[in-house]
Amino acid sequence: MNLLQAAESMVRAKMDEQGFIMNSCLHDQKTENLDRFLSALDTYQGSVAQYEIIQGLKNQVPETTPEGASDELSNEDR
């Protein structure tokens, strides 16, 4: 499993979840939803920062072939 892809997937899922919570709070603007909205916003902001870091790391790390792919290439050359 590619570590960066897994991390990106988890962070994107967290962003989606927090976005859903914020959106539901906006549709039901009760006073008690303010804390829930702000908490989701804070988590979302942290997730966006994590996502940007992951994207930067992905740009720095050279592409690697998945395990076994190099074996397939060498077998095709024969």
| Low-confidence stretches of the chain (pLDDT beneath 70) | 1, 64-78
Beta-carbon-side half-sphere exposure of residue 33 (alpha carbons within 13 Å):
10
pLDDT of residue 14: 96
* Cα–Cα distance for residue pair 66/35, rounded to 1 Å: 44
Q: Fill in the DSSP letter of residue 61.
A: S
Residue found under tokens 């395990």: 67
pLDDT of residue 50: 95
Q: Which of 51, 49, 61, 45 is nearest to 8 (CA)?
A: 51
